[in-house]
């Protein structure tokens, strides 16, 4: 398993917090760590993938299912843009894995929105958008 996030731009402590959130998310995906994913994702989390839209519950179910096998996710050239309350992380991921026997290996463009919610001390992932790069 491999997880790597390289980051460019924004004030250092906040930037490091946001990059760490990305790293934790990738690690949790690779380990099928439902508890960590549940903590990292906002209650109203949505992800848009090439196969459709998933809410938090659906995402947690799919990520912890034996149908999904993720061998590696390498984040290439992630860029973090901090807008205060919300931050956007975008980049390219190189993924190696399968879903229900179908090979998912390839490069994907993604955009992820992170924010601190209410009185929470750390940011959560609000929305992710993933597209295949042909």
Q: What is the pLDDT of residue 55?
A: 97
> What is the 3-state secondary structure of 48-97?
EECCEEEEHHHHHHHHCCCCEEEEEEEEEEEEEEECCCEEEEEEEEEEEE
List, for residues 38-57, the tens digit of each pLDDT value: 999 999 999 999 889 999 99
Domain ranges of the chain: 3-132
CB atoms within 10 A of CB 74: 16
Q: Is the pLDDT of residue 131 over 50?
A: yes
What CATH number does the domain located at 3-132 have? 3.10.450.50
List, for residues 54-89, the tens digit of each pLDDT value: 999 999 999 889 999 999 999 888 888 888 888 899
User: Between residues 107 and 14, which one has the greater pLDDT?
Assistant: 107
């Amino acid at each position: 398993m491999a997880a790597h996030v390289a980051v460019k731009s924004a004030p250092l402590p906040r930037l490091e917090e946001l990059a760490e959130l990305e790293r934790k998310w990738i690690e949790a995906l690779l380990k099928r760590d439902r508890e960590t994913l549940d903590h990292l994702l906002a209650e109203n989390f949505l992800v848009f993938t090439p196969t459709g839209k998933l809410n938090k519950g659906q995402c947690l179910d799919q990520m912890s299912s034996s149908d999904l096998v993720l061998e590696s996710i390498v984040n290439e050239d992630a860029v973090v843009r901090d807008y205060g309350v919300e931050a956007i992380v975008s980049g390219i991921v190189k993924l190696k894995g399968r879903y229900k026997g179908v090979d998912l290996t390839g490069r994907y463009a993604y955009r992820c929105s992170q924010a601190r919610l209410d009185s929470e001390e750390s940011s959560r992932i609000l929305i992710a958008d993933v597209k295949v790069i042909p």
